A and B are shown apart, each in its own frame.
Chain A
């Protein structure tokens, strides 16, 4: 009896702690890093901005610096600004898994109270909280990546045309596919990732109208593990290669490395996302990455900080599309050199408006 009861309890506690542990794994490797060693000893007292350069506050989404994906791209922009613009101080905070909007609000308020100006929020999850906090601190400039819903006189919305970049890699996939069969793997089934899929499918079909496209999402919200589970990415990609696909595009954040492994094992090709993954992936996997869809969050973050330094911050939407060079495809490794002319032709057509890329899957 005792063993039975205790066993049950142990199982319960174990399951609970495992799940909490899993949630914790979404957290960081490294906490915030700071440009200057001296952190403000009292957050509220140093309200006046430092004379030399700006004190920049950055609020990451889940994963924070070190996620080798979206947040890292923002961090790269910040690092570049740090060395080139001479920022006085930077402070990086990151979101916890499953936290409420109140926690995000508090994070932004702490930065605002601490005299950080400008403040950049990474990810659409900050939409509601940024809107509120920005209204409370009209003298501080805010920027948010991937969201156009939070608007205000002191909010800059940095948006990307992921569907346009995905169109180009979709076309590249179709041009490179020998079997006329390609695949798309999304991290989590959210509207943002649907944009990648829609653009990819449109691009592939523009090359070959009857192309076969496999599509799979690794997890459904509120389960966001699909962005951080290489094993899931590998299984999904293996399924696609087994089914006959020979090029797979992944928009799955940290799960992408699994897709590359599967591509290598199947002698197929893979397409990277966000950053130039033929440079950032593990050395033995770089060869399978024919190209990557570049989403230049680093450029957006840097541009915003530069405009702050120049005192030319523009409130409202700044669109980082193909035209502005905010999205693009990479040519590292030379695997798409033979089709580059065709891809650039598509690129020009999108820029000129001759092709309108859908941003939703039909």
Chain B
């Protein structure tokens, strides 16, 4: 693990190599310029004026109600991206966050609807159940990898499909579900008042409330930072991610680390559904949001697995989602938003890679200059 010259593309992509100096700011600016340029071209092709579209989105996105919507979506996107990032940090690709959070939310909703406890305990129980189910479901992939060498990419994708089938089986009147009278929906028994987390009136000028569990999301971000960067466990985790053989040599039990990291990722995934469940739906029904786990992958890449970066990524993603409604109202296809989101992820990856390469070649030039000017007594090579 010496210099940037030895890093791989994946290392740079996942933020394991840090940029230093003024170029830190260059990469995100470059990414924004790229994304803006490509989106503008797409808008021009579809016959919409790029600048007006952007202004429309900004105007709508800064209305108080839109800000609340953005913050609420960002809350679960953030948790989802953190779940993915834990795995990314040690080269585990947990594609199964989607299945993990859906199953966790379903079971937690059923448990929460079945019991009545004093408020803090009730909420704690639901969250605890969700984390246990998420961790448990992820541990299947972890165990398969540790014991049988099954790639977690394959197993977690398959477990997503199994989670869908299992969820459909559980969400049945013979098991967890109750019928909503007069409706074509079915869901778990609604969670009582003691299990609901009240919203916060953070944004003046609207009666819409921000999810109370946004605090949980922030706390998880801090916890993630401390765990990865300030603890022995985090060091082992990062070390395993960088070089498995080096980690083994320094006494890390890699198999144990894989299993624990997978379970931590799953437990975090279990939290993804909680803001929506305890702050708005109070029941897991047919219209519970799906696909948040995949969005988490994109946002983790966008935020380069850094807790602050992910927060920005989640807010940006949520802002774009929120503004899709206003685009429809003005005859602009809402699919433009999905194109923007994809473009931004690609731009960030490309921009950071370019800046990294620039930094590497600049370093090499510096070294060769030094070698040329100094007397060549030490022929050490260009591993600065």
Q: CB within 8 Å of B: which residues of A?
A: 1-2, 5-6, 8-9, 11-13, 15-17, 19-20, 23-24, 27-28, 31-32, 34, 39, 43, 91, 93-94, 96-103, 106-107, 109-111, 114, 124-125, 127, 146-149, 151, 189-192, 220-223
Contact = CB atoms under 8 A, between A and B. Distances in A.
24 contacts: A5-B91, A6-B9, A8-B93, A16-B95, A20-B294, A28-B333, A32-B328, A39-B329, A43-B329, A93-B329, A94-B334, A98-B291, A100-B276, A101-B280, A106-B322, A111-B329, A124-B185, A125-B185, A127-B180, A146-B184, A149-B185, A220-B165, A220-B167, A221-B168
B331 A34 contact: yes
Contacts of A16: 95, 294, 297-298
Contact of A98 (B13, B179, B290): B290
Chain B interface size range:
35 or more
B186 A191 contact: yes
Given A101-B280, A189-B168, A220-B164, A93 B290 contact: no
A106 B325 contact: yes
A12 B153 contact: yes
Interface string B317-340: 000011011101111111100100
B184 A124 contact: yes
Contacts of B186: 190-191
Helix, strand, loop or mixed for chain B's interface? helix
Nearest to B243: A1
Listed from nearest, the 6 A-B pairs whose CB atoms lie closest are: A220-B168, A148-B182, A149-B183, A124-B184, A98-B290, A192-B184
B359 interface: no
B267 to A, nearest CB: 20
Contact of A94 (B66, B153, B328, B338): B328
A12 B297 contact: yes
B69 interface: yes
B287 A101 contact: yes
Contacts, number: 156
Given A102-B280, A146-B184, A191-B179, A125 B329 contact: no
Given A16-B297, A127-B183, A190 B329 contact: no
Interface string B60-75: 0000011001001100
A35 to B, nearest CB: 12
A39 B9 CA distance: 47
A20 B291 contact: yes
A97 B95 CA distance: 19
Contact of B325 (A17, A110, A191): A110
Given A127-B183, A221-B286, A1 B280 contact: no
B331 A222 contact: no
B91 to A, nearest CB: 7
Nearest to B276: A100
B334 A96 contact: yes
B335 A27 contact: yes
B370 interface: no
A59 to B, nearest CB: 10
Nearest to B332: A31
Contacts of A24: 335, 338
B288 interface: yes
Contacts of B290: 97-98, 222
A11 B13 CA distance: 15
B257 interface: no
Interface string B325-357: 110111111110010001000000000000000
Given A32-B328, A100-B276, A191 B291 contact: no
Contacts of A147: 182-184
Given A15-B157, A43-B326, A222-B288, 17 more contacts: A5-B91, A16-B298, A20-B291, A20-B338, A27-B335, A28-B334, A31-B331, A93-B329, A99-B289, A102-B72, A109-B65, A110-B329, A147-B183, A148-B182, A148-B183, A149-B180, A189-B168
B69 A102 contact: yes
Contact of A27 (B69, B292, B332, B334): B334
